[in-house]
Amino acid sequence: MSETTIPYKIYLNEHEMPAQWYNVRADMKNKPAPLLNPGTMQPMTLEELSGVFCSELAKQELDDTTAFIDIPAEILKFYKMYRPSPLVRAYCLEEKLQTPAKIYYKFEGNNTSGSHKLNSAIAQAYYAKKQGLKGVTTETGAGQWGTALSMACAYFDLDCKVYMVKVSYEQKPFRREVMRTYGASVTPSPSETTEVGRKILAEYPGTTGSLGCAISEAVEAAVGSEGYRYVLGSVLNQVLLHQSIIGLETKAALDKYNITPDIIIGCAGGGSNLGGLISPFMGEKLRGEKDYRIIAVEPASCPSFTRGRYAYDFCDTGKVCPLAKMYTLGSGFIPSANHAGGLRYHGMSSVLSQLYDDGLMEARSVEQTSVFEAAVQFARTEGILPAPESSHAIRAAIDEAMKCKETGEEKTIVFGLTGTGYFDMVAYEKYNNGEMSDYIPTDEELQPGFDSLPKMN
Amino acid sequence: MSETTIPYKIYLNEHEMPAQWYNVRADMKNKPAPLLNPGTMQPMTLEELSGVFCSELAKQELDDTTAFIDIPAEILKFYKMYRPSPLVRAYCLEEKLQTPAKIYYKFEGNNTSGSHKLNSAIAQAYYAKKQGLKGVTTETGAGQWGTALSMACAYFDLDCKVYMVKVSYEQKPFRREVMRTYGASVTPSPSETTEVGRKILAEYPGTTGSLGCAISEAVEAAVGSEGYRYVLGSVLNQVLLHQSIIGLETKAALDKYNITPDIIIGCAGGGSNLGGLISPFMGEKLRGEKDYRIIAVEPASCPSFTRGRYAYDFCDTGKVCPLAKMYTLGSGFIPSANHAGGLRYHGMSSVLSQLYDDGLMEARSVEQTSVFEAAVQFARTEGILPAPESSHAIRAAIDEAMKCKETGEEKTIVFGLTGTGYFDMVAYEKYNNGEMSDYIPTDEELQPGFDSLPKMN
How many Å lie between the alpha carbon of B176 and the closest alpha carbon of chain A?
Answer: 9
Q: What's the mean per-residue pLDDT of chain A?
A: 94
Task: Kindly report the backbone phi and psi dihedral angles of residue A360, in degrees, each rounded to the nearest multiple of 5, phi listed first.
Answer: -90, -10
What pLDDT, on a 0 to 100 scale, did the predictor assign at position B334? 81
Residue among B183, B422, B423 minimizing CB distance to A380: B183
Nearest CA in chain A to B80: A8
DSSP annotation string for B319-349: --SPEEEEEES-TT----TT--SS---S---
Classified as helix, coil or strand, A177 is helix
With 0-12 / 13-18 / 19 or more C-beta atoms within 10 angstroms meaning exposed / middle / buried, residue A285 is buried
Answer yes or no: do A429 and B92 touch at CB < 8 A. Answer: no
Residues 11 through 50 of chain B touching chain A, CB cutoff 8 Å: 11, 14
Q: Measured between beta carbons, which residues in chain B are less than 8 angstroms from residue A155?
A: 92, 380-381, 383
User: Angle, to 10 degrees, between the axis of helix A144-156 and the axis of helix A118-130?
Assistant: 40
pLDDT score for A48: 95
B330 contacts B346 by C-beta, under 8 angstroms = yes
Residues of B with Cβ-Cβ distance to A85 under 8 angstroms: none
B81 contacts A8? CB cut-off 8 A: yes
* Record: contact A151-B111, CB cut-off 8 A: no
In this complex, which of B92, B154, B426 lies closest to A380 when CB atoms are compared?
A: B154
Cβ pair B346, B331 in contact under 8 A: yes
Instruction: Indicate if the pLDDT at residue A343 is higher than 70.
Output: yes
Is residue B298 within 8 A of residue B306, CB to CB? The reply is yes
Considering only CA atoms, give the Rg of chain B.
Answer: 21
Q: How many CB pairs under 8 A join A and B?
A: 120
Give 10-residue mean pLDDT values along chain B (457 residues): 66 91 98 95 96 96 98 93 91 95 96 93 98 97 93 96 92 91 96 94 88 92 94 96 98 96 97 98 98 97 97 90 95 83 89 98 97 97 93 98 98 97 92 95 95 89
Q: Which chain A positions have a beta carbon within 8 Å of B371's beta carbon?
A: none
Q: Which residue is closest to A6 within chain B, CA to CA? A: B14
Res. A11 pLDDT band, cuts 50 70 90: confident
- The beta-carbon neighbor of A181 closest among B111, B178, B385 is B385
**8 A C-beta contact, residue B194 and residue B207:** no
CB contacts of A112 in chain B (<8 Å) are: 379, 383-385, 420
Q: A110 to chain B: which residues are within 8 Å by CB?
A: 110
Of the candidates B155, B180, B428, the beta carbon closest to that of A177 is on: B428
CA distances (Å), origin A368, targets A140, A147, A300: 22, 24, 8
Alpha carbon distance A356, A309 (integer Å): 12
CA separation for the pair A218, A315 (Å, rounded): 13
Distance from CA of A102 to the nearest CA of B (A): 16
**Interatomic CA distance for residues A345 and A215, integer angstroms:** 11
Q: Between β-strands A362-366 and A102-107, what pairing exists: parallel, antiparallel or unpaired?
A: unpaired
Nearest alpha carbon to residue B261 among B269, B274, B250: B250
CA-CA distance, B327 to B313, in Å (whole number)? Answer: 9
CB A268 within 8 A of CB A416: no
HSE of B359 in the Cβ direction (CA atoms, 13 Å)? 0
A385 touches chain B (CB under 8 A): yes
Residues of chain A found within 8 Å of residue B82, distances taken between Cβ atoms: 383
Q: Does B73 touch chain A (CB under 8 A)?
A: no
Amino acid B2: pLDDT:
43
CA distance A83 to chain B (A): 9
In chain A, positions 105-124, which contact chain B (CB-CB < 8 Å)?
110-114
The answer on pLDDT for A274 being more than 60 is yes
Is the CB of residue A185 less than 8 Å from the CB of residue A154? no
Q: Is 60 exceeded by the pLDDT of residue A3?
A: no
B112 and A420 within 8 Å at the Cβ level: the answer is yes
For residues A385 and A337, the answer to whether their CB atoms sit within 8 Å is no
Q: Is A379's CB within 8 Å of B182's CB?
A: yes
Residue B167: count of CB within 10 angstroms of its CB: 16
Give the per-residue pLDDT at B1: 38
Q: Kindly state the DSSP code that residue B403 receives in the 8-state scheme.
A: H
Q: What residues of B are in contact with residue A7 (Cβ under 8 Å)?
A: 14, 80
Pairwise CA distance, residues A234 & A107, whole Å: 18
Shortest distance between the Cα of B415 and any Cα of chain A, in A, equals 17
At residue A415, the pLDDT reads 98
pLDDT value for A2: 43
Claim: this prediction has a pTM higher than 0.80: yes
Any B CB within 8 A of A230 CB: no
In the beta sheet, which residues pair with residue A185? A161
- DSSP class of residue A27 equals G
Report pLDDT for A1.
Answer: 38
Which chain B residue has the Cα nearest residue A150? B380
Segment B346-383, tens digit of pLDDT: 999 999 999 999 999 999 999 999 999 999 999 999 98
Residue-wise pLDDT tens digits, A97-138: 999 999 999 999 988 889 999 999 999 999 999 999 999 999
User: Which residues in chain B are contacts of A384 at CB distance < 8 A?
Assistant: 111-112
- State how far the Cα of B266 lies from the Cα of B277, in Å rounded to an integer: 7
* Amino acid of residue A1: M
pLDDT greater than 90 at residue A364 = yes
CA–CA–CA angle A308, A138, A319 (5° rounding): 50
pLDDT at position A432, please?
95
Is there a contact between B183 and A7 if contact means CB atoms under 8 Å apart? no
Contact status, residue A7 vs residue A83, Cβ threshold 8 Å = no
Picking from B84, B164, B150, the residue whose alpha carbon sits closest to that of residue B122 is: B150
Say how far residue A448 (Cα) sits from the centre of its chain.
Answer: 25
d(Cα B170, Cα B166) in Å, to the nearest integer? 6
| CA-based max dimension of chain B | 66
Select from A182, A384, A426 the Cβ nearest to the Cβ of B379. A182
What pLDDT does residue A144 have? 94
Pairing of strands A412-417, A263-267: parallel
CA A307 remoteness from chain centre: 19
| Closest among A239, A230, A48 to A139, alpha carbons compared | A230
Report CB contact under 8 Å: B379, A154. Answer: yes
> Is residue A160 classed as helix, strand or coil in its secondary structure?
strand
Quick check: B425 and A174 CB within 8 A? yes
**Cβ distance of A383 and B429 shorter than 8 Å:** no
For chain B, say whether A384 makes contact (Cβ under 8 Å): yes
Could you tell me which residue, B367 or A336, shows the higher pLDDT?
A: B367
Question: Judged by CB atoms within 8 Å, which residues 151-180 of A form the interface with B?
Answer: 151, 154-155, 173-174, 177-178, 180
Residues of chain A in contact with residue B383, where contact means CB-CB under 8 angstroms, are: 81-82, 111-113, 151, 155
Helix (H, G, I), strand (E, B) or coil at A325: strand
Q: In Å, how far is A6's CA from the nearest CA of chain B? A: 10
Q: CB A183 to CB B380 under 8 A?
A: yes
The torsion defined by the Cα of A77, B377, B399 and B388, in degrees rounded to 10, comes to -110
B262 phi/psi in degrees, rounded to 5 = -95, -40
Number of neighbours of residue B221 by Cβ within 10 angstroms:
24
Please indicate if any CB of chain B lies within 8 Å of the CB of A223: no
Is pLDDT of A341 > 80?
Answer: no
- List, for residues A183-229, the tens digit of each pLDDT value: 999 999 999 999 999 998 999 888 888 888 899 999 999 998 999 99
Q: Residue B6's closest chain A neighbor by CA?
A: A14
The arithmetic mean of pLDDT across residues A426-446, rounded, is 95
> Pick from A183, A78, A15: which is nearest to B91 by CA?
A78
3-state secondary structure of A2: coil
Among residues B211, B236, B279, the alpha carbon closest in space to that of B121 is found at B236
| C-beta separation of A452 from A140 below 8 A | no
The residue in chain A having the minimum alpha-carbon distance to the alpha carbon of residue B382 is A81
Contact A425 B178 (CB under 8 A): yes
Task: Give the largest CA-CA distance in chain A.
Answer: 66
Collect all residues with Cβ–Cβ distance below 8 Å to A298 and sequence separation of at least 6: A267, A268, A269, A304, A305, A306, A343, A363, A364, A365, A366, A392
User: With an 8 Å Cβ cutoff, is B434 touching chain A?
Assistant: no
Distance (Å, whole) CA B225 – CA B64: 30
pLDDT 10s digits, A376-412: 999 999 989 999 999 999 999 999 999 999 999 999 9
Give every CB contact of residue A231 below 8 A, 6+ residues apart in sequence.
Answer: A53, A54, A57, A121, A124, A125, A128, A136, A137, A138, A149
CB A306 within 8 A of CB A444: no
- Cβ–Cβ below 8 Å for A177 and B11: no
* B440 touches A at CB < 8 Å: no
CA distance B245 to B91: 25
